């Protein structure tokens, strides 16, 4: 047995199953970090867009030019814009028809806004469950690798007459790397999951508030 136990040696000397576990964990970690970066950017953009749009919304008196600009824009509307677009479109469409009660118009507009918001919510929450899964399962996967490695090293220990700590220690050390990797993958995933779900919830609250305010404006329009 050589005295050198660098991490690389330990990984390369590990049994096939433990190596597989490590590979899975590394993949999980890479994917979860990809999602973390991705989500962070998306949420940041969404927040920025919401702020910009709210400013625009409250600064104009007449909403129809805002609507035409948004619906003719090159970019696909996102977040609040989309909710606004859906609500306004439905409102105008129903108002054009004769003999329709104001309450019915408002109901329709509100319904279409609710649908648009649900779609937005869905977009924001995609992939969050993957982070949660990585956070909760990768320690177990790592633990599994460790247990397997320790089992093997003890089995090897049982075959010799005189056991020394030097015979098991490298095996255990090698097996423990799997746990370390599991934790390494899990900790950022859990932190990111909590952070993002909080952010998403706040954003949705904001959308909700906007929707109510917009509905009250439409109410005023419909009854005037």
CB of 223 to other proteins, least distance (A): 41
Q: How far apart are CA 218 and CA 224, in angstroms?
A: 10
- Binding residues for other proteins, rule CB under 8 A, total 18
Report if residue 14 touches other proteins, rule: CB under 8 A.
no
CA dihedral over 155, 160, 163, 164, signed as positive or negative: negative
Query: Quick one: which of 17, 19, 20, 33 contacts other proteins (CB under 8 A)?
Result: 33
Report if residue 37 touches other proteins, rule: CB under 8 A.
yes
Report if residue 7 touches other proteins, rule: CB under 8 A.
yes
Query: Quick one: which of 25, 28, 29, 148 contacts other proteins (CB under 8 A)?
Result: 29
CB of 105 to other proteins, least distance (A): 35
In the complex with other proteins, which residue's Cβ is closer, 3 or 160? 3
Query: Quick one: which of 12, 23, 26, 187 contacts other proteins (CB under 8 A)?
Result: 26
Interface stretch with other proteins, choices 38-46, 86-94, 138-146, 147-155 (CB under 8 A): 38-46
Residue 123, φ and ψ in degrees, nearest 5 = -60, -45
Query: Quick one: which of 15, 17, 19, 42 contacts other proteins (CB under 8 A)?
Result: 42
In the complex with other proteins, which residue's Cβ is closer, 33 or 57? 33
CB of 205 to other proteins, least distance (A): 25
Query: Quick one: which of 4, 61, 62, 122 contacts other proteins (CB under 8 A)?
Result: 4
Report if residue 126 touches other proteins, rule: CB under 8 A.
no
CA dihedral over 141, 184, 15, 167, signed as positive or negative: negative
Residues that bind other proteins (CB under 8 A): 3-8, 26, 29-31, 33-38, 41-42
């Amino acid at each position: 047995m050589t005295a050198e136990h660098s991490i690389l040696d330990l990984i390369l000397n590990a049994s096939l199953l433990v190596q597989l576990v490590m590979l899975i964990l590394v993949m999980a970690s890479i994917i979860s970090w990809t999602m973390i970066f991705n989500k962070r950017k998306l949420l940041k953009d969404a927040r920025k867009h919401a702020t910009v749009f709210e400013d625009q919304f409250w600064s104009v008196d007449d909403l129809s030019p805002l609507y035409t600009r948004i619906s003719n824009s090159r970019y696909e509307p996102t977040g609040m814009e989309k909710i606004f677009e859906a609500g306004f479109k439905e409102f105008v469409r129903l108002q054009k028809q004769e003999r329709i009660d104001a309450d019915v118009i408002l109901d329709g507009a509100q319904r279409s806004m609710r649908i648009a918001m649900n779609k937005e919510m869905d977009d924001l929450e995609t992939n969050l469950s993957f982070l949660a899964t990585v956070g909760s399962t990768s320690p177990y996967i790592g633990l599994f690798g460790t247990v397997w490695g320790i089992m093997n090293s003890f089995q090897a220990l049982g075959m010799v007459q005189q056991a020394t700590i030097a015979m098991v220690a490298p095996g255990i050390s090698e097996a423990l790397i799997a746990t370390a990797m599991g934790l390494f993958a899990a900790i950022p995933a859990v932190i990111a999951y909590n952070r993002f779900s909080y952010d998403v919830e706040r954003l949705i609250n904001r959308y909700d508030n906007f929707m109510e305010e917009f509905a009250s404006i439409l109410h005023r329009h419909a009854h005037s």
